[in-house]
Structure 1
Amino acid sequence: MILRTFGWSFAVTGLGLAAAYYFWGWTGFAIVAILSILEISLSFDNAVVNAGILKKMNAFWQRIFLTIGILIAVFGMRLVFPVAIVAVTAGVGPVEAVRLALNEPDTYQEMVTDAHPSIAAFGGMFLLMIFLNFIFTERHVTWLGWLERPLARLGKIDSFSVGVALAALLVSATVFAGQAYQHGGTYADKTSTVLIAGLAGVLTHLLVGGLSGYFENRLEEDDERAAEAEEAARRAGREPSTMGLAGKAAFFLFLYLEVLDASFSFDGVIGAFAITNHIFWMALGLGIGAMYVRSLTIYLVREGTLDEYRYLEHGAHYAIGALALMLLVSIRYHIPEVITGTLGVGLIAAAFWSSVRHNRVDRAAAAAGGGGSGGEDRPAVAERV
């Protein structure tokens, strides 16, 4: 199972590190390895959330996600995206941006640093919308029930999550964007830039999430009708087919996953510039990390880990919320990458440990003939509504 799921990741790791050593020696080898670890640590929460979406797809679309999706992730976000940043923000063509990346790396890094406020606003607002939609939705299983239950009640107000997100954007634009950090330790007024980029992040989430949700609901409705008609179809000697609708639903969920991955990649791409401005080292290191994130996503789906560890998805969404806030704060203040990475992993680890403890209580109660804990964890860290 491990080799089947992570085989391509192992192969890409070997080839990538070998290429780094062959062309750039031990220096290139070390930096590519560090960037790989950076990407994995910053994107572990991405894998957990992806798994929650990917488990709704069939095996075909899971393979598409692991093949075509990884090409989009590696070449789109880890190679083309840094170049596109310079091309758009500096008003130069893509070819000129590549020339700057290869021949004038200091100028290229300066341009990327100056573009950070717009990147952070877009990615931060997109991720914040994901967290708010999760935390304002009533759920049967809660992790931090004392917090999640009242927030879920607030979520019954129409468009409440959008209102909170726009309020956060307004605060970010007024508090942080007026003195946005720029290359060389200077500051500039990026209020209008942050507002526009943040609104684009909110609209992107509403559009892509709305489309995927629409087709997902259509698929669920069709599944209910198919279940009712299954017996009649069997008696008639035929099987009902819902391939077309399932294909559309999976397609838009796939698009949602790619946009989600793109937003998660912002911090990794920007963080990579704190280590190197060599475009090919970045592409190799972040690409290797992206492979492991996708393989981990598939592993979580196939092993049913999200069902076994019930609070893992909660921890990942809390990590998303923390990352979104850090991206918005980073418009003005530099946040070390070690904080960004360890905070997300720490929240997921706490959720994992809560799940393990809950499962132990369930097993102990079942062994004692109590029929399980009923979803209540004694320390009140994990509660069931």
Structure 2
Amino acid sequence: MNRRLLRYLAFPLVMCGFGLAAILGFQGLEAAWLTLVLLLLEVSLSFDNAVVNARVLDRLTPGQQSFFLTWGLVIPVFGVRFLGPLLMVAIAGQVGLGEALDAALRHPNEYRKLLEIAEPRILAFGGMFLLMVFFHYFFDDAKTLHWWQALERRLSAAGRIEALEVAIALIILVALVFVAPVGLRGDLMVSGVLGVVLQLLTTSLADGFDSGPQMAVRSGIASLIYLELLDASFSLDGTIGAFAITDNIGLIMVGLGLGALFIRSLTLMLSRERALDHLIYLEHGAHYAIGALGLVMLAGIPLAAHHIHVPEWLTGLIGVLLLAIALWDSLRQRRASS
């Protein structure tokens, strides 16, 4: 069993060794160390993403799964970690895309300043999207398996109230806008509402299609879009936090890209080994970690206005601890039932 599970990690381990060796050879020991730190940052922030991805991946056709696990890697690595912030920087900094690209490649300090301008809008979008993922999972009156019984039974019962999760999300967004600096309020409202709408749209399309071959394909496409948006939301915080470690765009892309490769392999392992069917609380822990990450991203906006920054290692540690507790309880439950 252990040897079979290790096969899933063989490719990312080889690529990690190759990538770190290349960085070491061309840019030296310090650059290789920074790349390794970025890799670990990405894995710690996105491990819970792999758990949720594995469950959604089960809904896709083999062809769609193959696309997500291969070409789907290009979208979060180059689209989210490079082109996405580049576009946001251009819009928020009111500069052309070419000027933003030039700053990213040739003037990293200037690009970092532009990214700081765009950061609140990025965090508002990603935070609201992830918060809606958390609400969608727990505000479900059909949910029968509960981990933290006292809390989850109440959340599940509250799911009978139509659109309750949307109302709570919008209340949180309004509160965030109220405490944010005046000049940011309009942009934060637009970014936050966009995150809510996209989460609702993708999950509604995936859930709403009927069973049938043609409908299954459409549902799979909606799920595929949802996976990429979920990946994007997880990656936004890590991409911004990476600039606290280094302003070298090349190192950031290599480190976070290698980390994303590990997440893809973990997603594949969890899906194909049906691990979530045996580790019954792992999905719960992942969604608690998602909710925590969403709240931290949103809280980072008013905190940044007071020059307070929540370190990325702390965010990652919260997620890892929640998953570790869920894993422990899952294993204990499995031993008790066997």
> Per the shorter chain, which TM-score range?
over 0.9
2:170 is the counterpart of 1:166: yes
Which whole-Å CA distance do the structure 2 matches of 1:282 and 1:296 have between them? 21
Moved more, 285-294 or 331-340: 331-340
What is the aligned partner in structure 2 of residue 142 from structure 1? 146
Which whole-Å CA distance do the structure 2 matches of 1:18 and 1:89 have between them? 37
What is the aligned partner in structure 2 of residue 101 from structure 1? 104
Which whole-Å CA distance do the structure 2 matches of 1:65 and 1:16 have between them? 22
**SS of equivalent residue, structure 1 residue 190:** helix
2:158 is the counterpart of 1:154: yes
CA deviation digits over 1:327-365, x for unaligned, max 9?
0100022111111000011111111111111112112xx
2:333 is the counterpart of 1:329: no
Q: How does 1:343-382 map to 2 (within 5 A)?
A: 343-363=318-338
The letter for the 1-side match of 2:19 is G
Moved more, 327-336 or 10-19: 10-19
Which whole-Å CA distance do the structure 2 matches of 1:305 and 1:21 have between them? 36
The letter for the 2-side match of 1:155 is G
What is the aligned partner in structure 1 of residue 93 from structure 2? 90
**SS of equivalent residue, structure 1 residue 141:** coil
What is the aligned partner in structure 2 of residue 225 from structure 1? none
Q: How does 1:110-125 map to 2 (within 5 A)?
A: 110-125=113-128
Structure 1 residue corresponding to 2:233, chosen from 263, 267, 285 = 263
What is the aligned partner in structure 2 of residue 51 from structure 1? 54
The letter for the 1-side match of 2:102 is R
Moved more, 24-33 or 314-323: 24-33
Which whole-Å CA distance do the structure 1 matches of 2:98 and 2:22 have between them? 24
Structure 2 residue corresponding to 1:203, chosen from 197, 205, 213 = 197
**SS of equivalent residue, structure 2 residue 245:** coil
Alignment root-mean-square deviation, CA: 1.4
Which whole-Å CA distance do the structure 1 matches of 2:76 and 2:22 have between them? 20
**SS of equivalent residue, structure 1 residue 274:** coil
Q: Give yes or no for contact 1:48–1:300 (8 Å, CA) kept in 2.
A: yes
Which whole-Å CA distance do the structure 2 matches of 1:257 and 1:301 have between them? 14
The letter for the 1-side match of 2:267 is T
Where in structure 1 do 4 or more consecutive aligned residues deviate above 3 Å? 1-4
Q: How far did 1:120 drift?
A: 0.8
Q: Give yes or no for contact 2:8–2:268 (8 Å, CA) kept in 1.
A: yes
Number of aligned residues: 329
Which whole-Å CA distance do the structure 2 matches of 1:62 and 1:5 have between them? 15
Which whole-Å CA distance do the structure 2 matches of 1:151 and 1:349 have between them? 23
Which whole-Å CA distance do the structure 1 matches of 2:5 and 2:335 have between them? 26
Q: How far did 1:4 drift?
A: 4.4
Which whole-Å CA distance do the structure 1 matches of 2:171 and 2:222 have between them? 29
Q: How far did 1:15 drift?
A: 2.9
Which whole-Å CA distance do the structure 2 matches of 1:52 and 1:297 have between them? 9
Structure 2 gap ranges (5+): 304-308
Which whole-Å CA distance do the structure 2 matches of 1:342 and 1:59 have between them? 34
Q: Give yes or no for contact 1:62–1:298 (8 Å, CA) kept in 2.
A: no
Q: How far did 1:140 drift?
A: 1.4
Which whole-Å CA distance do the structure 1 matches of 2:132 and 2:218 have between them? 24
Name whichever structure is richer in helix by fraction: 2
Q: Give yes or no for contact 1:276–1:282 (8 Å, CA) kept in 2.
A: yes
Q: Give yes or no for contact 1:41–1:342 (8 Å, CA) kept in 2.
A: yes
Structure possessing the higher radius of gyration over alpha carbons: 1
Q: How far did 1:89 drift?
A: 1.3
The letter for the 2-side match of 1:190 is L
Q: How does 1:237-256 map to 2 (within 5 A)?
A: 242=213, 244-256=214-226
Q: Give yes or no for contact 2:81–2:236 (8 Å, CA) kept in 1.
A: no
Moved more, 280-289 or 70-79: 70-79
TM-score by length of 2: 0.93
Q: Give yes or no for contact 1:101–1:279 (8 Å, CA) kept in 2.
A: yes
Q: How far did 1:64 drift?
A: 1.2
**CA pair 37-121 structure 1, distance change in 2 beyond 3 A:** same
Q: Give yes or no for contact 2:51–2:286 (8 Å, CA) kept in 1.
A: yes
- Identity over aligned pairs, percent: 43
Which whole-Å CA distance do the structure 1 matches of 2:68 and 2:21 have between them? 26
Which whole-Å CA distance do the structure 2 matches of 1:257 and 1:79 have between them? 18
Which whole-Å CA distance do the structure 1 matches of 2:278 and 2:151 have between them? 23
